[in-house]
Amino acid sequence: MNILILNSGSSSIKYQLISMPTELVICEGLAERIGSDNALLKYSTNATKLEEELAIPSHKAGLLKIADLLLDPSLGVIKNTEEISVVGHRVVHGGKAFSDTSLIDASVKEKIKNLHALAPLHNPHNLEGIELAEEIFPNAKQVAVFDTAFHHSIPAVAKKYAIPEEFYENKVQVYGFHGTSHKYVSEKAIEHLNQKTSKIISIHLGNGCSITAIKDGKSIDHSMGFAPSNGLIMGSRSGDIDHAIIFYLVETLGYSLEEVNELLIKKSGMLGLTGFSDLRDIQAAAEKGDKSCILALQMNTYRIKKYIGAYAAILNGIDAIIFTAGIGENSALIREMVCTDLEYLGITLDADKNNTRSKSLLEINKTDAKVKVLMIPTNEELEIAKQAYRLVHA
């Protein structure tokens, strides 16, 4: 069974075509920096590797490019769309409605649409991918895997906000995000630790960033909340901010609510601090002495360290911390800055190991460290494929 996985992020689309249940990857690729004139399109199979810089103005344009590559007479891996049995979609926000993987129908699409306001950088692109996939692959079953599902185990003490009960009843609560990634890498870490119980802090660092406290394989707290905008400093999202600032912007500086929303989600974070949203550009400028970029890196990692300390407290100790996703896997500098001066918690980094490139799980802590520091490449696509396969074979 061929399952096509579409993983639409805020500025990227990762995709894989996987043969299940063997988990054989037939092709994979990435469209990143979507919305720019120098977007990058990657496509690879056993026989072909393509990397092209081009304008990809929207997620829809990116999805159409990907479909063209899959069906290309010389480069493609399928002759017709009927060779795709299932299309698995990452959907960021499932609200209270979805605690598990779901077959997509009109009702599911409507519920996803109703959650657009809670994940405006993601759910619209996720739904767009679903509707386009229905057109391109009309005979395939469409399956949604929700990022919020993994976090349904968060207890009320961490899930509820300190506001009147009626708001909780109206679905105002912590939902949590990047759950597919946190689930995948934490399971890899648990397997690596090979112990009956585990206390893990999983740090997902990409254009969107989040951190999760995981006890015995279950999420018990998470940095993002009602929508995927809280917590860590991100590419263009502010993360944690005093809500009084919103009132000040509206009542004193004359911003509309729509403008404030745009500001905090699309114009803040590392972009607001430096003018760049891509960490590679920020690191390059910092190396040349750019003070705003140096400070932004310090602020970014300072925020992560605060959460590590908080989660060490609620877990009552740490067995391992995980770095994953684009930045977590590739930025030795960020890992070093996060782990510096955390000896009190038992976290000590081995500089040589930290600077080693790996496509699989890598321990980067010192040999005698009390806490394992793990770099684990996430594979949300494989996790989505496994969940989709289980659903259609249930």
pLDDT tens-digit profile of 221-270?
999 999 889 999 999 999 999 999 999 999 999 999 999 999 999 999 99
350 and 362 Cβ atoms separated by less than 8 Å: no
209 and 233 Cβ atoms separated by less than 8 Å: yes
* Residue 14 annotated in ligand binding: yes
CATH class of domain segment(s) 194-375: alpha beta
* Domain boundaries along the sequence of the chain: 2-146, 194-375
pLDDT tens-digit profile of 128-145?
889 888 988 899 999 999
Q: How many CB atoms lie within 10 A of CB 265?
A: 19
b/e code 87-102 from CB counts within 10 Å (16+ = b):
bbbbbbbbbebbeebb
pLDDT tens-digit profile of 51-94?
999 999 988 888 889 989 999 998 899 988 889 999 999 898 88
Q: How many CB atoms lie within 10 A of CB 264?
A: 20
pTM given for the model:
0.86
Cα–Cα–Cα angle for 201, 205, 211, rounded to 5 degrees: 30
From the candidates 37, 72, 147, 368, give the one annotated as an active-site residue.
Answer: 147
Q: Hey, what amino acid is at 261? A: N
Q: Is 147 a catalytic residue?
A: yes
Residues 133, 135: Cα–Cα separation, whole Å: 5
Q: Hey, what amino acid is at 368? A: D
Edge-first strand order for the sheet with 24-32 is 49-54, 39-44, 24-32, 12-19, 2-8, 86-91, 141-146, 102-103
Residue 219 CB partners (closer than 8 Å, separation 6+)? 150, 151, 153, 154, 176, 179, 182, 212, 213
117 and 153 Cβ atoms separated by less than 8 Å: no
Strands 12-19 and 24-32: antiparallel
Q: Does residue 394 carry a pLDDT above 70?
A: no
Q: What is the DSSP letter of 98?
A: -
pLDDT tens-digit profile of 323-355?
999 999 999 999 999 999 999 999 999 999 999
Determine which helix (DSSP H) or strand (DSSP E) holds 211, and give its type and residue range: strand 209-215
Architecture of domain 2-146: 2-Layer Sandwich (3.30)
Cis peptide upstream of residue 155 (ω within 30 degrees of 0)? no
* Residue 326 annotated in ligand binding: yes
* Residue 221 annotated in ligand binding: no
Residues 349, 336: Cα–Cα separation, whole Å: 7
* Residue 114 annotated in ligand binding: no
* Residue 327 annotated in ligand binding: yes
Strands 86-91 and 2-8: parallel
